[in-house]
Amino acid sequence: MPTRLSFKEALARRDDPPAERPVLSGSPARLRLSMAEPIPQPVTVAQTIRAFGTTLREAHAALDWIAAGHGVPLEVTIPKGRDPVAKFAALGIHAQVLEAEIDVRAIREGLDLTQTEFASRFGLDPATVQSWEQGRTRPDPVAAVLLRVIATNPAAVDAALMP
């Protein structure tokens, strides 16, 4: 039976630290989860998503998107010896591990461009390109999509950037 908090109790709880993301050891990766039919075991799916290092809120949001028929990308941690694709397949969820690392240097060199030329051609900051190549930072998800498109079809990006 739910009870309501008094004003004093609510104020005391206000300063409680928020729930943190569980800390797992393993490899960081991006998964894309999807399915074409209703989720047969939503609680088990949420627990499985949570077991790969997401917060409960992220697991719930992922379930909502999957239930609506959309694919959902998730940042997860895959512990050694665990296969997320098989784990989700057993629950009727299609899981795809997205390429975790993007070799920006290989993409740039494949186009035979310097860092400055590459940055200028595709509307990127030269310092950012240099930082990616030297491993100081990683491309955010949006930049990673752009880099994948550049790697597969640079002419499409050129056409999109033309005024």
Which residue segment(s) compose the domain that 136 sits in? 104-161
Phi first, then psi: what are they for 134, rounded to 5°? -85, 0
Closest CA to 37 of 29, 49, 26, 45: 45
Say yes or no: 32 and 81 in one domain. yes
Label residues 25-45 b or e (16+ Cβ within 10 Å = b).
eeeebebebbbeeebeeeeeb
Give the mean pLDDT of 76-93: 85
Beta-strand relationship, 27-34 and 72-78: antiparallel
In a domain, 87, yes or no: yes
How far is the C-alpha of 38 from the C-alpha of 141, rounded, in Å? 28
Report residue 153's pLDDT band, with 50, 70 and 90 as the boundaries.
very high
Over 80: is that where the pLDDT of 36 sits?
Answer: no
How far is the C-alpha of 100 from the C-alpha of 79, rounded, in Å? 15
In a domain, 117, yes or no: yes
Give the mean pLDDT of 60-76: 87
What is the pTM assigned to this prediction?
Answer: 0.53
What is the pLDDT of the chain when averaged over all its residues? 83
Q: Which residue has the higher pLDDT, 80 or 89?
A: 89
Residue 42 belongs to domain with CATH number: 3.30.1390
Question: What is the model's pLDDT at position 17?
Answer: 55
Give the mean pLDDT of 134-143: 86
DSSP 25: -
Residue 155 belongs to domain with CATH number: 1.10.260.40
Residue 73, amino acid = P
Question: What is the model's pLDDT at position 23?
Answer: 52
Domain count for the chain: 2
